[in-house]
């Protein structure tokens, strides 16, 4: 099963990706994680990416595609994968179709007016990678999973959120039409509890 998860920042993609990966035993592949891992390990691709990003530029499509392609060729992806954060635009989607076309594309659709609250209320743990929301854990400073310090990501502020939503609308939202025309798009109502969103996804995937 080859899956892609789409959704605006704050739509709950990360949470649902973890649930899906666990239930269906699929490797959860996040481009953000791939960037960090390759840069940290100083791989040839990581060095190229670091060189580009050090100048303040976004990683170009060709490097991002090459990074994802290398990852999908690893043994744990032979039975399927879950892509989160890729593709980000139409050129990346077209490139992906050439070597690993997805079976199902799930869009977690949310009311964008609620996104700011979701994002600005997020708290992250740098130690275990956990992500939480003050609506559920309260205004605590310690990670509920490992007990380490929780932090507010620097881009989780109203101004940055607005900019990120504009980027999403301009680049990523057209992917919805792209996959809809292919008959692969499934829209899930993201304005529900985490459990209900996941339940709807399971109904689709079977």
Catalytic residue among 13, 48, 71, 123: 13
pTM (2 d.p.): 0.79
* Average pLDDT value for residue range 106-121: 85
- In angstroms, the CA 201 to CA 206 distance is 8
- In angstroms, the CA 55 to CA 33 distance is 20
Catalytic residue among 40, 78, 153, 162: 153
Catalytic residue among 88, 109, 118, 162: 88
Catalytic, 88? Answer: yes
What values do phi and psi take at 169, rounded to 5? -60, -40
Catalytic residue among 50, 69, 109, 164: 164
Helix 31-41 vs helix 44-53: angle between axes, to the nearest 10 degrees? 110
Catalytic, 123? Answer: no
So what's the pLDDT on residue 95?
96
Catalytic, 36? Answer: no
So what's the pLDDT on residue 32?
84
Tell me which H or E stretch contains 13. Answer: helix 13-24
**Residues 152-174 pLDDT 10s:** 888 887 788 888 888 888 888 89
When computed from its CA atoms, the radius of gyration of the chain, rounded to whole angstroms, is: 17
Residue 26 burial by CB count (10 A; 0-12/13-18/19+): exposed, middle or buried?
A: buried
Catalytic, 153? Answer: yes
Q: Of 116, 127, 121, 115, nearest to 152 (Cα)? A: 121
So what's the pLDDT on residue 84?
92
Catalytic, 47? Answer: no
Q: Of 107, 146, 143, 139, nearest to 120 (Cα)? A: 139
**Residues 66-109 pLDDT 10s:** 999 999 999 999 999 999 989 989 999 999 999 999 999 999 99
**Residues 14-73 pLDDT 10s:** 899 999 999 999 999 998 888 888 888 998 888 988 888 788 777 888 889 999 999 999
């Amino acid at each position: 099963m080859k899956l892609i998860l789409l959704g605006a920042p704050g739509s709950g993609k990360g949470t649902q990706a973890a649930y899906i990966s666990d239930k269906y035993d699929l490797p959860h592949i996040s481009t953000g994680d791939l960037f960090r891992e390759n840069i940290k390990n100083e791989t040839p691709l990581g060095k190229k990416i670091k060189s580009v990003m050090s100048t303040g530029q976004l990683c170009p499509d060709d490097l991002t595609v090459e990074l994802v392609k290398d990852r999908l060729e690893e043994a744990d992806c032979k039975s399927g994968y879950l892509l989160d954060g890729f593709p980000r635009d139409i050129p990346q989607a077209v490139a992906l179709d050439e070597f690993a076309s997805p079976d199902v594309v799930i869009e977690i659709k949310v009311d964008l007016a609620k996104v700011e609250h979701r994002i600005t209320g997020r708290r992250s743990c740098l130690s275990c990678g956990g992500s939480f929301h003050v609506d559920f854990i309260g205004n605590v400073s310690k990670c509920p999973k490992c007990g380490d310090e929780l932090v507010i990501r620097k881009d989780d502020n109203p101004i940055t959120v607005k900019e990120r939503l504009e980027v999403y609308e301009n680049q990523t939202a057209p992917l919805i039409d792209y996959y809809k025309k292919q008959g692969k798009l499934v829209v899930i109502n993201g304005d529900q509890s985490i459990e209900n969103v996941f339940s709807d996804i399971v109904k689709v995937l079977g």
